[in-house]
Amino acid sequence: MTTASVDQAVPGSAPDFDRCYRAVQARDARFDGQFFVTVRTTGIYCRPSCPAQTPRPHNVAFVLTAAAAQQQGYRACRRCAPDAVPGSPLWNVNADMSARAMRLIADGVVEREGVAGLAARLKYSPRHLNRVLTDHLGAGPLALARAHRATNARVLIQCTALPMSDVAFAAGFASIRQFNDTIRAVFGLTPTELRRLRHRRDRSQSDAVSAPGSVTLRLPFRAPYRWTWMRWFLSAHAATGVETVIDDADATLGWRFRRVIALPHGPAIADIEPHDDHVGVVLSHLDMRDLGAAVNRVRRLLDLDADITAAEESLAADPTLRPLIEGAPGLRVPGSLDPAETIIRTMLGQQVSLAAARHQIDRLVDALGRPLHDAGPTDGDVPRAFPTAAAIAADGRAVLRGPSRRIDAVIGVAEALAEGRVEPHVGVDASDLRAQLIELPGIGPWTADIVTMRVTGDPDVLLANDLIVARAAADLGVDLRDTHHWAPWRSYATMHLWRHRLAGSGEAV
């Protein structure tokens, strides 16, 4: 097995049995989250790396989602906790409706807007959506959302001291009875027994129970991960008050990242500490209904669900890229916490230096950002949420400086976002989002490409119009007009070219 990806005969169909079974025999953690193992003789489903004895081939089947396993009557293995795995990279690599639906379900759209809202965002009827998801993933949108709620509930049960009634409604259940029935069906335990199970575990091997009003989590990812690259990106683009990289000698890798996150029910603060094998996250000032959305957005920001082995093995087949990959394995593509914010900030970075862009962004945040006065200072600054598109449309003209044409463009895009004429979100097809952006005055190919890459998580966007990437390609003798052999991983190739040029100028990346 040369890559960490699972072959499928048809997009969305059950994965190839032989390849999956070999991964289970090897207990290969790279496949955790890409598929799940159902065991007929025990009635449970597991992650591929489950340490239990490998079941015989005739007793197992493989499904793409936990919801499909639950739909068939299987409960989650208590030993390997199959819901606590990295997400499937299929939802970014594939551009079909099922993949885009999964991205929205992970963001909690069904809990907030129902199946009708999910279908409307995808531009399909609820009936067609249900049919396609059931055919492709083995479960419809309600079952997929139920699995998502069950995972959120487990986290709240085991990582907080919230009363069970508060857990039920925070996780998105309509009633206490529905909550109890789902937890019993998915985990084979009552909610109280599930909480006791955590208390019996060795705390050194698990998450500590969070303080009141916050949630402490461990987010897994597929190694390797080059944290120096992500640290550089986060630090270089940090907006004062909204986010900061904090040097911390007590942190495992010597630094932490603190960020205000805009969420559906109000802003929260995420304190993120990278480790070699997981990411520690403390979410505070959080409306617990937003737990799933917050976790999903942090995962997307840090690109934690990438199948990095498959990407780099494919790109390393190009002799020009191989030294770059061998010299910096684990490079990720930074994602987006908020699509509207990403668009505005990228526009302000057009044709100017990072320092000039940050100056404009800091002015916007200082003048129009919502302060979180009860959150405490961040290095002397009161934490602030990035301004909404509506606030920028209404008052941004008095704050922004520079050529009037550029200011007009930013205000025009903010108005389009505020009025819903453009609706960027993780469920939009990448090509559709790029086309929508290009139609807006003031947005060119560079801005459209980088926003599309970061918002949708599309792994195959080449930033051919980026000056740093172009210079790196010239250094290496790469023709950016002929990169079809890098597909579908051109976003990762872009990151390696970008890093190569920055490293040559002395940046610690």
pLDDT band at 309 (very low <50, low <70, confident <90, very high): very high
46 is catalytic: yes
Q: CA-to-CA distance for 211 and 173, rounded, in angstroms? A: 23
Residue 206 binned pLDDT confidence (cut-offs 50, 70, 90) = very low
- Per the model's pLDDT, the better-predicted residue between 79 and 4 turns out to be 79
- What CATH fold (topology level) applies to the domain 17-90? DNA Methylphosphotriester Repair Domain (3.40.10)
Three-state DSSP class for residue 146: helix
The three-state secondary structure class of 432 is helix
The SS3 call for residue 77 is: coil
Is the pLDDT assigned to residue 160 strictly greater than 80? Answer: yes
Query: pLDDT tens for residues 49-92?
Result: 999 999 999 999 999 999 999 999 999 999 999 998 998 888 88
- Set 305, 338, 458, 466: catalytic member: 466
Q: What is the spatial distance between Cα 181 and Cα 185, in angstroms, rounded to a whole number?
A: 6
| Calpha distance 260→263 (Å, rounded) | 9
Nearby residues of 106 by Cβ (< 8 Å), 6 or more positions away: 87, 91, 148, 292, 296
Of the candidates 20, 32, 46, 307, the residue annotated as catalytic is 46
- 């199959």: which residue's tokens? 82
pLDDT at 374 over 70: no
CA angle (227 as vertex; 270, 320 as ends), nearest 5: 140
Strands in 36-39's sheet, in edge-to-edge order, are 60-63, 36-39, 44-46, 75-76
- The pLDDT value recorded for residue 332 is 98
Please tell me the predicted confidence (pLDDT) of residue 205: 41
Q: Residue 370, class by beta-carbon neighbours within 10 Å (0-12 exposed, 13-18 middle, 19+ buried)?
A: middle
The CA distance from 252 to 154, in Å, is 27
Amino acid at 416: A
Residue 90: closest CA among 81, 102, 108, 82: 102
CA neighbours closer than 13 Å in the CB half-sphere of residue 235? 14
The segment(s) of the chain belonging to CATH 1.10.10.60 are 95-203
Question: Which of 185, 151, 180, 186 shows the shortest CA–CA distance to 168?
Answer: 180
What predicted TM-score, i.e. pTM, was given to this entire model? 0.92
User: CA torsion sign, 96 to 82 to 31 to 296?
Assistant: positive
Residue 212: predicted pLDDT? 66
Tokens representing 176 are: 């206490």
Q: To the nearest whole percent, how much of the chain has pLDDT over 70?
A: 93
Contact 390, 418 (CB under 8 A): yes
pLDDT band, residue 381 (cuts 50/70/90): low
Q: Give the whole-angstrom CA distance, residue 32 versus residue 222.
A: 9
Helix (H) or strand (E) holding 106: helix 97-106
**Beta pairing, strands 370-371 & 278-284:** unpaired
- Output the six-digit token pair for 30: 């790279």
Which structure tokens are listed for 204? 């050194």
Please tell me the predicted confidence (pLDDT) of residue 367.
96
pLDDT tens sequence across 316-363: 999 999 999 999 999 999 999 999 999 999 999 998 888 999 999 999
Domain with CATH 3.40.10.10 in the chain: 17-90
Q: Which fold has domain 95-203?
A: Arc Repressor Mutant, subunit A (1.10.10)
**Phi-psi region at 332: left, alpha or beta (left = phi > 0; alpha = psi -120 to 50):** beta
Residues forming CATH 3.30.310.20 domain(s) in the chain: 211-300
Q: In the CATH scheme, what architecture does the domain 211-300 have?
A: 2-Layer Sandwich (3.30)
